[in-house]
Amino acid sequence: MSAAVVTAPASASPAPTPNAAVRSTAKAAAVAPSPAVFSHPGVNLNTAQLDFVRTKAQAGRCG
């Protein structure tokens, strides 16, 4: 068996190099740095909601 050789047409543009692709997406994917200190957003439950869940958990009906 012989191996087939496939060539692109003369008018085809060359494939981008991996480094060029990384450079072009690096600018678009810029992310702000993380804050130095983590601040927890808290819990959005009130006492009545917590009491409801506590009652369900104590009764064994958590699901």
Q: Is the pLDDT of residue 10 over 70?
A: no
AA identity, residue 28: A
* 48-61 residue pLDDT tens: 999 998 999 999 87
Identify the residue whose tokens are 């601040």. 39
Q: Does 19 or 40 have the greater pLDDT score?
A: 40
What's the pTM? 0.32
Q: Where are the extended beta strands (E) located within 1-63?
A: none
Is residue 26 within 8 Å of residue 20, measured between CB atoms?
A: no
Name 62's Cβ contacts closer than 8 Å, sequence gap at least 6: 56
Report how far residue 17's alpha carbon sits from residue 53's, in angstroms, rounded to the nearest whole number: 57
Structure tokens at 22: 């990384």
